[in-house]
Structure 1
């Protein structure tokens, strides 16, 4: 076990083998870009090390920051791969994921009915793949009919969650817990940790850039959809039509359903195109307005490890004056452990991770 400073972390293989003193290091990583919590565990190889086989269950436990009793930090986990190196003493590196990795690595084709919510669809995905469910918060927003051609289950989940956010819903992410898979609403963590320089933060880096800024959004749709029940007057005045003289209509330019403009005078024209085939023109305009943005601002924080912070949690950063969400986190477990966080505002997170459907 890792015991610097008297603290304890446990790595249990196949619910039988306590790897104990063989563990040299444990790193936990999570990001809004990925569905699974990932662990990198370093071991020293000895004759009593049990056989390692990808697919074995792994549980990582520790004392939560500020607590006194052991709790699971990654469970249920699965050993995904391992590699070894020998320079006189053999060392082994394990890569472990929570079980949502199967949703990320598996492909399927699915038809989802109109009116289902992201919560209902996530329940179906999980049940199909044998992943236990915790209580799922109801996402409430009814979704459009979706035919998902061959793609990963995680990409289907992403599409459902993006559509939920695009049409006025909350931002959610699937999160594996010891009780099962939950649908976590970003920023809804009960304990909001406060980070301060000279207290629990070693370094804060701030970045502002126009990379990712959007000052104009053009939403495109099919001509059939635009004219079916919408009326010519509902179309943007900037819509252009083309006489194709009987040519293949798929070669014609798309119809412009909406154009929304932001602070072009200050930042110039930075246009994003969105293909919308589901919502109404009013919904397309709402979606387009949500994507408008100016300067992009993010923070990188390193400091003393708070080992229960996860991607999507809300954080208070002293002196920033901003509400911030964790977009990625890296925990180097130990006492004192060290963590590195990427932080951004909810508006930034909505645009970057939930901005198109």
Structure 2
């Protein structure tokens, strides 16, 4: 196998690997791996909390690069028979941001980039590339909740205020903010094993009404903006939005227009593996530029992967404008 697993920066486990899978989605922060090993009797053992990394050769390249690093062994289980097998669940170190809770108070005027620096510093997580998200955020009082939920609240407020979509992503260089669809190399999916297209009106929105958050006790809330879409085609499917992040008529209009959507279209694709593709990347499928909302890599020679794909607009509505 052309993949390497290194434990504690000391034990090279390539010869013990039976299988490796990597899984990531837009609704989780930590990249996850499942590793099955055949363990010899004299192996010193593996325990939760130990450092681990997974490396492999990207498609079209010749040298190995880290695929999941820095990683931590989160769970391990073993089965004793003629050959002892051990299964590891591994996450990158942002798992600590998903599992840890805190309270934070932020003054108005900071950006999501600036706040991410504080989260990472407090949890001693190395920082990588942090683009300026630019949008100035309102005052935030975060009561006991996970650090990841705070990060996503900051990023959602950024989008609702007209900014770009970013997700936190751990790389070998450190914790980064990755712009959705911002990958330099856009891979074309090939070697298609199976592809399913789903179409639905279940989450279709053809009219959006944005209300102010302040109103009299016996008076309706002030309407800040109304946007209409394909009402003639799909009928009136109206959504009411009342959000503290929206303060002006201009912001309300942008939010209303961004939430309009026709029929929902998503794709599930199984194909030849491209082991560097991650959630949030843009890929080319049948001539369409689509965003990866989740991906599972079954690493091997050759490997294969399963992806869930959506349009840029659907990703924005589902992951950043959902309340």
Same fold (TM over 0.5): yes
Which residue of structure 1 lines up, in the alignment, with residue 240 of structure 2? 273
CA distance in 1, matches of 2:22, 2:285: 22
Q: Which of residues 158, 183, 207 in structure 1 aligns to 2:198?
A: 207
Map 1:247-266 → 2, pairs under 5 A: 256-266=223-233
Which of these residues, 298, 308, 317, is aligned with residue 266 of structure 2? 298
The whole-number CA distance in structure 1 between the counterparts of 2:210 and 2:87 is 47
Return the alpha-carbon distance in structure 1 between the equivalents of residues 35 and 193 of structure 2: 24
Deviation, 1:100, is: 0.6
Structure of higher CA gyration radius = 1
For structure 2, list consecutive stretches of 5 or more residues without a partner in the other structure.
none
Q: Which residue number corresponds to residue 308 of structure 2?
A: 342
TM-score, length-normalised on structure 1? 0.85
Q: Which of 135, 144, 157 is residue 141 of structure 1 equivalent to?
A: 135
Runs of 4+ in structure 1 off by over 4 angstroms are 252-256
Tell me the TM-score normalized by structure 2: 0.94
Deviates more, 1:278-287 or 1:39-48: 278-287
Q: Determine the C-alpha separation between the residues in 1 that align with 2:244 and 2:88.
A: 44
Aligned length: 322
Aligned to 2:193, the other structure's residue is in SS state strand
Within 5 A, what are the aligned runs for 1:1-357?
Answer: 3=1, 8-86=2-80, 88-196=82-190, 200-223=191-214, 243=218, 256-282=223-249, 283-319=251-287, 322-356=288-322
Distance in 2, Cα, partners of 1:272 & 1:79: 43
Question: How far is the alpha carbon of 1:253 from its aligned partner?
Answer: 6.5
Q: Deviations over 1:3-26 (max 9, x none)?
A: 2xxxx1111111111123221000
Tell me the distance in 1 between the aligned counterparts of 2:110 and 2:56.
Answer: 38
SS of the counterpart of 2:103?
Answer: strand
What is the deviation of 1:91?
A: 1.8
Change (3 A) 1:195 1:278: closer
CA distance in 2 between partners of 1:41 and 1:13 (Å): 12
Q: Measure how far apart 1:73 and its partner are.
A: 0.7
Find the aligned partners of 1:189 and 1:300 in 2 and give their Cα distance. Answer: 20
What is the Cα deviation at residue 46 of structure 1? 2.0
